């Protein structure tokens, strides 16, 4: 039993997990989500569970937490927590206010139960029947342990995604679970929030200089490996059909399986990606072959964290030489040092074709009818270049992106499209009819499901061309082409909502491309994506830039920004404090280096 006086030392008996030939099949499916799992996790071990998307990692955690009922599907084999059947372990009596398992889920928005932070942490303790007078000390303890910056009375509605996730962690930790399970806890929060969450977890399990800590067993499921290496001591690799395919000390498994895991889409740290064949390079190596247009350089797809040797990026210029002539001008200007300054546009000394497609002057943007989040925004959206909008959560990146996409009305100032883009429908995108908009500016939302309106992938792709009055044979040809290019051909008849996260992302990009817009606006396109989808997107963006598309991209993904900025084809604007500021590239543009 616990007592309220030992606030400094939070001790919970660690709980082990044992699986023997365990499998689970969701009701209504013919395939097993996972099968043949043999796994022993000893009390106190900290395990990172890896595997390709769809390997059933989340299912295993949900089952271990006792959340999979008979009605939800069918199980086989044995899954035990603390020596009890996992389902029984959830409800079997223990000490009041403690639970055998604690599970932190992916979506911060779907884990906040109550309006005040303290009440939310207390929720689990109440459910577990802890006497009221012991609850609040325990709540304070949990909030302190995760490094939560606010007091109990703080409103949960005012929290950012990362803070919300740490609050949810406090709610789990407060119950002193013997087995702490984290299901992709950082997939939906920004990098700063992710770093703080990992620090919180490290603190909770006693890996930081906190006074007291839980001695729980920890199981983490996460695509992004690097951030957890300081926390976990063991890596287990799962495969849907094969059960456990690798298991051992973290660094050993990564050294052995790194290239294979990377190929499957796991964000393996760069030093573990190299197989015998050298660094994992380009889309082919990551299994993400995308047909490229002739004008696209056969450059490197550089997943996360790798810097390209200067010389290897030179093919960009070579490709320009072999490409369209008007592109050659635009790109060579784009590569010159001055173009990263806002206000000075590529068009100012280039041919008419590379004038900014969209120009914002003194633009103010807002959500709904709220006060503007950004004011005084001056920027140009230039063909053949990615304009990155970066900045912390809630700074207004997405709001600005929606305004640039002609989806929300400016709260002040103006957004003007050049006649070449606008055609006969006037210079103000927000006044265009939707069907005119889709052929001019395409938008890919952060949440692909927001954009799905049809019952199959094929029908989904046909919506845009039909609305835009594209002739049927032409529309069919375009759909077929986009299906092939984004490798969705095999899924043409599938319901968009049943696709995996990466497939949904590719489909939402495909729906925007099929109407061939001159400007493409992307909101967090790489959020929560595995390494394979990431590489596909990067290749696709390169290809679009090569064909003269102007791209706007709101993102937290430093690797994405740096990839294009380093190539001289990206420009970064930092959004924050109510306006935007240009970010000077940290390295000199490559064209200048090559020239010198």
Partner 1 sequence: MTVLSLGADRDLRPDAFVARANPVAKLVVALLVSLTLLLTVDVVTAGVALALEAAVLPWCGLSAAGLLRRGWIVVAGAVPAGLVTTWLGVDSGEVLLAVGPVTVTQGSLLAGCAITLRILSVGLPGVVLLATTDPTDLADALAQVARLPHRFVLAALAAMRLFALMGSEWESLGAARRARGIGDDGVVGRARTASGQVLALLVLVIRRGTRLAMAMEARGFGAPGARTWARTSRVRRSDLGVVLAGVVIVTVATVAGILAGTWHLALT
- The contact set with partner 1 (CB under 8 A) reads 62, 65, 67, 90-91, 93, 99, 101-103, 105, 107, 109-116, 119, 122-132, 135-136, 139, 156-157, 168, 171-172, 175, 367-368, 402, 405, 407-408, 433-435, 437-438, 442-443, 445, 447, 449-453, 463-464, 467-468, 497, 511-512, 515
Planar angle of CA 11, 14, 16, nearest 5 degrees: 175
Cα of 445 vs its chain's centroid, Å: 12
**From CA 371, how far away is CA 364, in angstroms rounded?**
10
Two tokens at 555? 């993102």
Nearer to partner 1, 110 or 255 (CB): 110
H-helix segments, 323-439: 325-334, 397-404, 419-422, 434-437
Query: Using an 8 Å Cβ cutoff, are 553 and 390 in contact?
Result: no
**Minimum gap (Å) between residue 119 Cβ and partner 1:** 6
Nearer to partner 1, 131 or 291 (CB): 131
**From CA 112, how far away is CA 449, in angstroms rounded?**
22
**Cβ neighbours around 72 below 10 Å, total:** 16
Nearer to partner 1, 357 or 402 (CB): 402
Nearer to partner 1, 140 or 566 (CB): 140
Nearer to partner 1, 93 or 596 (CB): 93
Instruction: Kindly write down the DSSP assignment for every residue of 507-557, as one continuous string.
Output: HHHHHHHTT--SEEEEESTTTT--HHHHHHHHHHHHHHHHTT-EEEEE---
**Minimum gap (Å) between residue 327 Cβ and partner 1:** 27
Nearer to partner 1, 348 or 451 (CB): 451
DSSP element (H, E) containing 103? strand 101-104
**Minimum gap (Å) between residue 213 Cβ and partner 1:** 20
SS3 573: strand
**Minimum gap (Å) between residue 102 Cβ and partner 1:** 7
Nearer to partner 1, 339 or 511 (CB): 511
DSSP element (H, E) containing 559? helix 558-566
**Minimum gap (Å) between residue 328 Cβ and partner 1:** 32
**Minimum gap (Å) between residue 114 Cβ and partner 1:** 6
**Minimum gap (Å) between residue 190 Cβ and partner 1:** 18
**From CA 414, how far away is CA 428, in angstroms rounded?**
8
**Minimum gap (Å) between residue 126 Cβ and partner 1:** 5
The bridge status of strand 550-554 relative to strand 386-390 is: parallel
**Minimum gap (Å) between residue 277 Cβ and partner 1:** 41
**Minimum gap (Å) between residue 320 Cβ and partner 1:** 31
**From CA 461, how far away is CA 506, in angstroms rounded?**
11
Residue 144 phi, psi (nearest 5): -65, -40
Nearer to partner 1, 405 or 531 (CB): 405
Nearer to partner 1, 447 or 577 (CB): 447
**Token pair 């009605």 is at which residue?**
71
**From CA 203, how far away is CA 567, in angstroms rounded?**
39
**From CA 134, how far away is CA 154, in angstroms rounded?**
21
Nearer to partner 1, 516 or 571 (CB): 516
Two tokens at 363? 């633009």
**From CA 520, how far away is CA 554, in angstroms rounded?**
11
């Amino acid at each position: 039993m616990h007592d309220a006086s030992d606030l400094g030392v939070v001790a919970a008996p660690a709980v082990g997990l044992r699986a023997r030939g365990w499998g689970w099949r969701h009701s209504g499916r013919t395939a097993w989500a996972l099968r043949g799992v043999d796994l022993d996790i000893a009390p106190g071990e900290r395990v990172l569970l890896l595997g390709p998307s769809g390997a059933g990692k989340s299912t295993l955690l949900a089952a271990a937490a006792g959340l999979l009922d008979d009605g939800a599907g069918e199980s086989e084999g044995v899954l035990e927590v603390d020596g009890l059947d996992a389902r029984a372990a959830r409800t079997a009596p223990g000490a009041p206010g403690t639970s055998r398992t604690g599970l932190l889920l992916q979506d911060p928005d779907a884990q906040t139960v109550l309006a005040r932070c303290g009440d939310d942490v207390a929720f689990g303790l109440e459910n577990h029947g802890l006497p009221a007078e012991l609850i609040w000390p325990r709540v304070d303890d949990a909030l302190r342990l995760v490094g939560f910056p606010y007091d109990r009375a703080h409103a949960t509605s005012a929290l950012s995604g990362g803070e919300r996730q740490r609050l949810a962690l406090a709610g789990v930790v407060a119950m002193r679970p013997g087995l702490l399970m984290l299901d992709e806890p950082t997939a939906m929060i920004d990098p700063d929030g992710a770093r703080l969450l990992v620090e919180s977890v490290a603190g909770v399990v006693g890996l930081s200089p906190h006074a007291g800590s839980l001695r729980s067993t920890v199981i983490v499921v996460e695509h992004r490996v690097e951030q957890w290496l300081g926390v976990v001591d063991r890596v287990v690799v799962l495969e849907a059909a094969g059960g456990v395919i690798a298991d051992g000390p973290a660094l050993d498994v990564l050294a052995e399986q790194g290239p294979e895991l990377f190929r499957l889409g796991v964000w393996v740290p760069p030093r573990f990606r190299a197989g015998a064949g050298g660094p994992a390079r380009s889309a082919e190596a990551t299994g993400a072959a995308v047909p490229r247009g002739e004008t696209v350089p056969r450059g490197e797809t550089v997943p996360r964290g790798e810097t390209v040797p200067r010389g290897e990026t030179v093919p960009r210029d070579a490709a320009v030489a072999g490409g369209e002539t008007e592109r050659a001008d635009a790109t060579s200007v784009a590569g010159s040092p001055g173009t990263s300054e806002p206000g000075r546009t590529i068009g100012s000394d280039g041919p008419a074709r590379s004038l900014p497609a969209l120009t914002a002057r003194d633009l103010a943007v807002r959500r709904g009818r709220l006060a503007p989040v950004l004011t005084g925004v001056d920027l140009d959206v230039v063909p053949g270049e990615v304009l990155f909008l970066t900045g912390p959560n809630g700074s207004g990146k997405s709001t600005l992106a929606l305004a640039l996409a002609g989806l929300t009305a400016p709260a002040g100032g103006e957004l003007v499209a050049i006649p070449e883009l606008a055609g006969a429908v006037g210079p103000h995108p927000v006044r265009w009819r939707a069907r005119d908009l889709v052929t001019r500016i395409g938008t890919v939302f952060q949440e692909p499901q927001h954009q799905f309106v049809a019952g199959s992938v094929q029908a989904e792709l046909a919506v845009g061309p039909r609305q835009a009055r594209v002739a049927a044979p032409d529309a069919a040809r375009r759909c077929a082409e986009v299906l092939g290019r984004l490798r969705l051909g095999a899924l043409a008849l599938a319901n968009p909502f049943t696709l995996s996260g990466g497939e949904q992302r590719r489909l939402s990009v495909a729906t925007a491309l099929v109407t061939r817009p001159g400007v493409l606006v992307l909101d967090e396109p790489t959020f929560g994506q595995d390494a394979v989808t990431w590489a596909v997107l990067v290749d696709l963006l390169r290809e679009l830039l090569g064909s003269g598309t102007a791209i706007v991209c709101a993102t937290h993904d430093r690797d994405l920004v740096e990839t294009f900025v380093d190539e001289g084809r990206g420009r970064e604007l930092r959004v924050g404090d109510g306006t935007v500021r240009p970010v000077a590239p940290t390295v000199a543009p490559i064209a200048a280096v090559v020239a010198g």
